[in-house]
Amino acid sequence: MKTILQINSSLFGEQGQSSKMANEFVTKLQARSDASKLLRHDLHATPLPHLDGQRFSAFTTPAAERSATQQAVVAESDALINELREADIIVLGMPLYNLGVPSTFKAYIDHVARAGETFRYTANGPQGLLEDKKVYVFAARGGIYEGTAMDTQSAYIRHIFGLMGIQDIEFIYAEGLSKGGDVAEKSLAAAQALIRQKAA
């Protein structure tokens, strides 16, 4: 059985274009095979706390010395990490906000990118501990940024998942959506064609 982990992060929830693309893709994946399990997070509806000193200290405190509060923080992080370990396919609904990832998604990453859990430090540098996973990123943008220096989002996603050992990452972009009219319609139509192709 394949496990799909879907993470949407649009501040418009299910009405966000990135969420709609990710939802459509997952629906088509599941229709292709009944032998799949879906794990799902809407980070706008149920956001994670942003990382602060207390939460970070919970991660670095030895297990036997953690307070009850610290144990709860680590248990929440561990559950998210176990979902990543279980997932065969990771689907991200990813809007572009201020040239980067949504802060809710960054908070998610700060709970799963943990030394000793999803990567480790070695004499030769960091080594990822998660492998054999495919990531699809459904990136909705108001402007047109793909392939430019202003698209810091795509590089960040490649680097942070690469740190954890996940290298197989594919982006499906819908750009120029704020321009409206034919520009937005053609961009969404092209993205939807790719969704059908990738889910086939």
Residue 35 has pLDDT above 70, yes or no: no
pTM of whole model > 0.85?
Answer: yes
What pLDDT, in 10s, does the model give residues 5-17? 999 999 999 999 9
Is 10 known as a binding-site position?
yes
- The pLDDT value recorded for residue 14 is 95
Q: Could you give the count of Cα atoms lying within 13 Å of 111 in the half-sphere of its Cβ? A: 26
Whole-Å CA distances, 47 to 8, 104, 168, 184: 11, 6, 26, 29
- Would the pLDDT of 75 be above 70? yes
Q: How confident is the model at residue 200 (pLDDT cuts 50, 70, 90)?
A: confident
The pLDDT assigned to 180 comes to 87
Q: What CATH number does the domain located at 2-199 have? A: 3.40.50.360
On average, the pLDDT of the chain sits at 96
Delimit the domains of the chain by residue range. Answer: 2-199
Contacts of 90 (CB under 8 A, 6+ apart): 4, 5, 6, 7, 84, 133, 134, 135, 136, 166
